[in-house]
Structure 1
Amino acid sequence: MTQKLFYILLTFASVITYGQVELTMRPDKSDYNGKEIVNLTIILELNGDNLVQQSKIQLPDLSKFNMIGNGSFNQGVRDPESNVAVEQYITRIALEPKQRGKIRIGSVLVTVNNKIYKTEPFDIFIRDIEKKPIAKNADNDVYLNMEIEDKDVYQDQPTVAVLRVYSKSIDNLRKVKNIHLPEQENLNVHPINFHKSEIDPSGYGNMPSQILAMFIVFPNESGYVEVPSVSASVNSFSHKNKIVSNKVKLNVKKLPEGSPECFKNAVGNFKVDVYHESKEKIEAKKPVNVVLKVSGEGNLSDMELPKIENSADYEVFAPKITSRVNAGVEGMKGYILANYVLIPNRTGILNIKTEEFAFFNPAEKEYVNLGQETLSLTAFSHDQVLESRSTVEKVNEYTNTLLETVNSPVLKTTTFKVKEKSKFNWRILFINFGILLGLVIAYLLFKNWQKKRIIIKEKSAPKDLGSVAETEREIRESLKTDVGDYFTYLENLKDSQSFDQFFKTVEELDSEVRNQYFQSSKDDFRQFLENYKGSSVAEEYRNLSQRIQIEKYTPVKSEEGIGELLKDIINLYSQISK
């Protein structure tokens, strides 16, 4: 009998220890100030194989807090001695208090095996709370508020911020100007627009409100990141006041583990292309332009671009970066071009490879490895390039060379240049010969007319010289250059990509304008401009001269860069030649 009773008690003890549920919730501390975050930790532990969680963990009423972020994970083990499974569920919640004083946090509930378990409620104390909205002007009537809807993002993932102004007087909304976006090392901020919206008459506290600006925030580190205040000024006739907005805290999630080795900091959805635009044959030991394009949506302006790998087959130089990226409410969209200059070291097939590139797609929550992109080019020797040209191509090349050597900014000879054709075209050949013959005849007629004009001038009676000032004015007028003809000629040279002749014409234009003012050297001319046109014009002339020299000796010139340089040349020399 005693032995049976022992076995019965042992059976009851094993059942009690086999199924056991523990549910706890505790804060990191019980006393906080208004700037601190309340961190709650909820632990549910199930000891036993027959325990089934029938409901999710039900949180208490947290309406007195703003939820900054939350996260959870679970882990399971089996005790080797008792062979009992132990499941543990841990949840972390970050809260921002809305009020001060003592706040009671209620019980957490969960149902396991048709039984409800709950934790004991407890109190925390908030000693101080930060008031919002943050800033106002001297009349206590204008408020700035920064609103960020998505505060839970990944590192380097964008979130959109909206800057709104509130005021009791609609007239004060028009006085808010000079908006300065936040600057901080752990944030990259890009403006979307500064367009003011229509006034909303029923804003916060029945005050009229208006959207002033929208911008994108890219947090580049994980953890709790605080977006600094946005500042602006309220201008009136009598005074000018500075106002600042509230600060916003972001819960920046760390990127998941298991990233590829080639991943750096690209977050979004991207595509990589590498190509060679020119259709001309590539010659060894001559520069080649290769473009690496990264397009898509994400942190385009701030991420590290892939590069072209070094190789013994070619020499690669640092790229020129150009971008067309637009900031919108969905992020940064567009593309970035890296223009590389390569010089093949040998003839034959060249395999140009990029570095491996990977990015994190926050929508799919996974890493995408695009690998390497390869561009195959064939380099020829100089003799092979010459042999591959047809007879018509050689004639056209000679014709174009002759047309380029005609030294006249008025006659637009470059418009007659011949483009390369794959088939023989007799019509173009006869047109070229006709143009050459016409140019020779026109040139002889022009020289004959010029000689006759000089003879007539010599026979005419001398005029009264007048005063020194009048004589100098007349000489300057006679030497005055029609810069408009030069501008038209330079535009034609740019369109036909005759860059060598372009820079020769620019030097002629500069020399003609300097002679107009009796200045032989550029330094004397710059001093002359500083005395008579102002220091700003002289400094602009010096900077433009440096840019012309830099672009002139660039190995591969782009039509876009030459176009920007031509605009600056037209603007400056139009001012000087007035």
Structure 2
Amino acid sequence: MKQKIIYAIFTLISVISYGQVQLSMKSDKTDYNGKEVVNLTIVLELNGNNLEQKSKIMLPDLSKFNMIGSGSFNQIVNDSDTNTAIDQYITRIALEPKQKGKVRIGSVLVNVNNKIYKTEPFDIFIKDIEKKPVANLANDVYLNMEIEDREVYQDQPTIAVLRVYSKNIDNLRRVKNIRLPQQENLNVHAVSLKRSEIDPSGYANMASQVLAVFMVFPNESGYVEVPSVSASVNTFSTKSKIASNKVRLNVKKLPEGSPQSFKNAVGNFKVDIYCPTKEKIEAKKPVNVTVKVSGEGNLADMNLPKIEESPDYEIFAPKITSRLNPGLTGMKGEILAKYILIPKKAGELIVKTEAFAFFNPAEKEYVNLGQEKLGLTAFSHDQVLEARSTVEKVNEYTNTFLETVDSPVLKTTSFKVKEKSKFNWNVLFVNIAILIGLFIAYILFKYWQKKQTIIKEKPTPKPLGSVAETEKEIRESLNTDISDYFAYLENLKISGDYPKFFETFDEMDAEVRNQYFQSSKEDFKVFLERQNGSSVAESYQELLQKVQIEKYSPITSEDSINDLLKDIVKLYSLISK
């Protein structure tokens, strides 16, 4: 009888302990200041095989917070006392408080086997909330940075919108000099700096306007704070500075198991390698090879795949050019890395890129593209000469002559003949006609010179003026007609006379410095920084460095000289006024 009673007691205990449900919620602490993040942890434990969760975990009212991020996972825990497996469902929530003081966090609800379980509410205390800085303009102009998607992967972009609010619509037009945030752990790229139409019915009956839209690329995981965007409010009497709010991002770490070739590319990309020239490649002569990366993602900040070194060729540092536009999931377009490659010997050679891999956030997986290969055939100098036809040799002689007699009036280099694989009689006749026409034009010009009579007029002496007028005349005599230099540099670029191009640039730079009575380039840089600002002085220093790089480069392309000339015209048109 005693054994039956003991057996019944143990059976009753096992029935009572079978099928237990525990639900709890707690915060990491009870007191917070306005800058700290409130972290909540919700744990649901199911101990029993017959327990079925009928609903998702229902959160309490969190309207007094901004939800920065959330995440959940489940795990199985072995209970050593009962030797049973317990299913745990853990949810973590990161909140940003909106108000200070005592804040109550309500109960969490869940339905298990058609029975409602809930947690007990508790209170937390929030100290001073960080207020938005406003302009010193009767507290009437506000900047607000809005980021809707605050949970992204590392190096994945999120869109930020900058709005200005004011009760006075006139103040919206006075907001200028917008400076986007700059920080080491994130990259910022402008999408649009065009102002939108003014919305008269904004927040709190204030007019609003979108000032800027930009992309934020966080390059580290964890909680990343986007700094404030600053601007200035200019009135007739005062100039005030304003700043927007700061925004916290929950940056998720990239999944484990990344390929060895993965660096920091996040998005969807494609890699190509090709040789843009169709001419035959000659050994020990430079040839252009381009590596193109296209797609959408963090194109502007990612590490590009390089060309691997090889004993078959010598390779130089590439020139990077990009054509990028804002897309839906990042910067969209293509980046070109233009290499100069010199084959060391004749024969077949394989040009390989580094292995390249990227993380696709849409599919949440890594994609390994591997290596891209380009097969080239290098010929010896004798083989290249033997492969040329008679017409190609005539065209080469004609092109040499046209380059020699080029004049700034008639751009004869534009008539240069491109090599073709087929014999073309029209090209030959056009070349002969051009030569005959040039010869006739030269004879007519000499005949016209002999007919002209040069009349020299004796200059009348000018009356002596005041000291101020004399100084004005001296300054005007020192002014350099910079457009003449621009036209001459353009002619030298077209003719391909690059040594004369750099020599003329140095002469123009000296003339402009003499215009401002600056003998050395360093003194001129200090003068530009004092007169035109630090940005112009830095642009002048960068231009001088570009000129030196192109001047001593082993090979100079027409595209690089064209880009350099554009920079020269843009800068010297500004500083020579």
TM-score tier (shorter): 0.7 to 0.9
Matched residue, 2:315 = 316
Matched residue, 1:243 = 242
Matched residue, 1:175 = 174
The answer to whether 1:113 aligns with 2:113 is yes
Matched residue, 1:373 = 372
**Unmatched tracts of structure 1, length 5 or more:** 470-481, 515-521
TM-score (normalizing by structure 2): 0.84
Matched residue, 2:24 = 24
The answer to whether 1:419 aligns with 2:418 is yes
After TM superposition, the structure 1 stretch with the greater mean CA deviation from structure 2, 530-539 or 197-206, is 530-539
Distance 2:483 2:227 in 1: 52
Matched residue, 1:57 = 57
Distance 2:24 2:570 in 1: 75
Matched residue, 1:207 = 206
Matched residue, 2:388 = 389
| Amino acid in structure 2 at the alignment position of 1:111 | N
Matched residue, 2:13 = 13
Distance 2:294 2:427 in 1: 42
Between structure 1 and structure 2, the one with the greater Rg is 1
Distance 1:333 1:365 in 2: 19
Matched residue, 1:161 = 160
- Whether the aligned pair in 2 keeps the contact of 1:323 and 1:336 (CA below 8 Å) is yes
> How has the CA–CA distance of structure 1 residues 146 and 575 changed in structure 2, closer, same or farther, with 3 Å as cutoff?
closer
| Amino acid in structure 2 at the alignment position of 1:125 | F
Give the Å deviation of 1:445. 5.4
Matched residue, 1:126 = 126
| Amino acid in structure 2 at the alignment position of 1:403 | L
Give the Å deviation of 1:285. 0.7
Distance 1:182 1:164 in 2: 15
Distance 1:330 1:94 in 2: 25
Give the Å deviation of 1:465. 7.7
**SS of alignment partner, residue 364 of structure 1:** coil
Matched residue, 1:559 = 558
Distance 2:125 2:53 in 1: 33
**SS of alignment partner, residue 55 of structure 2:** coil
Distance 1:45 1:527 in 2: 79
| Amino acid in structure 1 at the alignment position of 2:72 | S
Within-5 A mapping of 1:355-374:
355-374=354-373
Distance 1:392 1:485 in 2: 39
TM-score (normalizing by structure 1): 0.84
Within-5 A mapping of 1:21-100:
21-77=21-77, 84-100=84-100
Matched residue, 1:279 = 278
Give the Å deviation of 1:81. 9.3
Give the Å deviation of 1:559. 3.2
Matched residue, 1:188 = 187
Within-5 A mapping of 1:224-263:
224-263=223-262
1:35-86 alpha-carbon deviations (Å, 9 max, x no partner): 2211111111222333222222222222222211111111125569966332
- Whether the aligned pair in 2 keeps the contact of 1:192 and 1:329 (CA below 8 Å) is no
**SS of alignment partner, residue 428 of structure 1:** helix
**SS of alignment partner, residue 74 of structure 2:** strand
The answer to whether 1:197 aligns with 2:202 is no
> How has the CA–CA distance of structure 1 residues 438 and 257 changed in structure 2, closer, same or farther, with 3 Å as cutoff?
same
1:194-225 alpha-carbon deviations (Å, 9 max, x no partner): 21111111111111111111111111111111
> How has the CA–CA distance of structure 1 residues 468 and 383 changed in structure 2, closer, same or farther, with 3 Å as cutoff?
farther
| Amino acid in structure 2 at the alignment position of 1:150 | D
- Whether the aligned pair in 1 keeps the contact of 2:406 and 2:412 (CA below 8 Å) is no
> How has the CA–CA distance of structure 1 residues 200 and 348 changed in structure 2, closer, same or farther, with 3 Å as cutoff?
same
- Whether the aligned pair in 1 keeps the contact of 2:492 and 2:500 (CA below 8 Å) is no
Matched residue, 1:478 = none
Q: Kindly tell me the number of residue pairs found equivalent between the two proteins.
A: 549
| Amino acid in structure 2 at the alignment position of 1:193 | S
- Whether the aligned pair in 1 keeps the contact of 2:512 and 2:576 (CA below 8 Å) is no
Give the Å deviation of 1:568. 6.2
- Whether the aligned pair in 2 keeps the contact of 1:27 and 1:39 (CA below 8 Å) is yes
Give the Å deviation of 1:573. 10
**SS of alignment partner, residue 259 of structure 1:** coil
Matched residue, 2:150 = 151
**SS of alignment partner, residue 240 of structure 2:** strand
Distance 2:87 2:570 in 1: 76
> How has the CA–CA distance of structure 1 residues 48 and 225 changed in structure 2, closer, same or farther, with 3 Å as cutoff?
same
> How has the CA–CA distance of structure 1 residues 550 and 444 changed in structure 2, closer, same or farther, with 3 Å as cutoff?
farther
